[in-house]
Amino acid sequence: MSLIEISNVTKTFREASEEVTPLDGLSFHVDEGEFVALMGPSGSGKTTLLNLMAGIDRPTSGHVVVAGEDVSAMAPRDLARWRTRSVGFVFQGYNLIPVLTAWENVEIPLLLLHLARAQRDRKVAVALEAVGLGDRAHHLPRQMSGGQQQRVAIARAIVADPTVVLADEPTGNLDREAATATLKLLRRLNQEFSKTLVMVTHDALAAEVAGRVVHLDKGRIVDSEGTHA
């Protein structure tokens, strides 16, 4: 069953005096429980597509439907509430708050939900254990390696049990060892925890961990490889 449906989506914007079209009539779907890697050269529309799925941006035309909700038609207030419940986002630069511990960084999405303190504590503990950082809960980001910081960011992305996890170049700032560990962790979240993942990446190792690799170029899908191609 399709969890994400992108239907005939075009996105245009003006850059100086030029009109840029990062996505051009693109249609695309992600099944529930799938792990999809989006690959392609810079400017191919990968990150734009990810941002549309997250409701961070809106298409110029077409529709973006996630778990039956037409994200592209939502009012801003409804969209903010939907994003809190439905999307976990992993960034290339971790985006951790330096003065907060790993525990406090992971807890942030839960502060937007109506949860008792005990419920928040259970969810944070489970998320940190899932990424293998239960013993680093009270460390600050500067006291952790880049790979550990990215694992904290992944824990933050999954702590509210979102419908989909979106990752934008999650290995881009990591050395090979940490990148490999991060990709294996994402695969584990997909296989053992049944998380639906969509990842933008330039990392060739992604093809080994994702169930499907979708190649984009000039705003269109040019190839799709894997079990759901």
Q: DSSP for 128-157?
A: HHHTT-GGGTT--GGGS-HHHHHHHHHHHH
CA atoms within 13 A on the CB side of 143: 11
Q: In whole angstroms, what is the distance from residue 159 CA to residue 137 CA?
A: 14
pLDDT grade for 229, boundaries at 50, 70 and 90: very low
**44: in domain:** yes
**pLDDT for residue 207:** 76
Contact 44, 217 (CB under 8 A): yes
Please name which of 20, 26, 13, 14 lies closest in space to residue 53, comparing C-alpha atoms: 26
69-70 vs 61-66, strand pairing mode: antiparallel
Q: State which residues form the domain around 191.
A: 36-51+83-226
pTM: 0.91
What's the pLDDT tens digit per position in 170-202? Answer: 998 999 999 999 999 999 999 999 999 999 998
**29: in domain:** no
- pLDDT (mean) for 140-158: 96
- Supply the mean pLDDT for the chain: 92
Asked whether the predicted pLDDT for residue 167 surpasses 90, the reply is yes
220-226 vs 212-217, strand pairing mode: antiparallel
**pLDDT for residue 156:** 97
pLDDT grade for 153, boundaries at 50, 70 and 90: very high
Structure tokens at 190: 């997909």
**58: in domain:** no
Contact 185, 152 (CB under 8 A): no
**204: in domain:** yes
**100: in domain:** yes
Look up the CATH number of the domain holding residue 108: 3.40.50.300
**147: in domain:** yes
Question: In the block, which residue shows the tokens 């990968």?
Answer: 46
Burial class (CB in 10 A: 0-12, 13-18, 19+), 125: middle
**168: in domain:** yes
C-beta atoms surrounding 106 within 10 Å? 29
How many domains does the chain fold into?
1
pLDDT grade for 228, boundaries at 50, 70 and 90: very low
**13: in domain:** no
Indicate the residue type of 4: I
Q: Is residue 220 classed as helix, strand or coil in its secondary structure?
A: strand
What's the pLDDT tens digit per position in 104-140? Answer: 999 999 998 989 999 999 999 999 999 999 999 999 9
